[in-house]
Amino acid sequence: MMYVVAYLTTVIVFFAIDFIWLGTVAKGFYQDQIGSLLLDEFRVGVAVAFYVMYVAGIVIFAVVPAVKLGSLGHALLYGALFGLFCYATYDFTNLATLKGYTVTVAVVDTIWGTFLTGLSALAGTWLTIKITG
């Protein structure tokens, strides 16, 4: 039961915050920086696959260990580190392989991923502890 609660709470938090970021705050930023690289049509299935797998990683590497320890600090630290490693891998690979991918996007996106993942792990842990007692 704890794993289900951890996953559901974390995915809701992660998706909600990322939706706000991508849909409003950063929409113009990405268009201005790397608009020529963006698809005309968003690939929903690929995005869903990312969210399903990525949140599983947050839960496995940050939320569940933090719930077992009863430590919100652990959730924040390991969530942020997971986000840093994953987003930096994506962004640095893009910098190394794509024409037109900017350093600015790589830095902003890596910082965003670190913050978002740490916050999602923290919230997922807190909610899981509250719900499962």
Residue 31 is part of which domain span?
2-132
What does pTM read for this prediction?
Answer: 0.95
Q: Which amino acid is at 15?
A: F
Domain count, the chain: 1
Q: Read off the pLDDT band of 27 (50, 70, 90).
A: confident
Which residues, in sequence order, are CB contacts of 5 under 8 Å at separation 6+?
A: 127, 128, 131, 132
- The residue-averaged pLDDT of 86-111 equals 97
Percent of the chain past pLDDT 70, that is, above it, reads 100
3-state secondary structure of 33: helix
Task: Look at residues 65, 48, 47, 52 and name the one whose alpha carbon lies nearest to residue 3.
Answer: 65
pLDDT digits (tens, 9 = 90+) for 40-97: 898 999 999 999 999 999 999 999 999 999 999 999 999 999 999 999 999 999 999 9
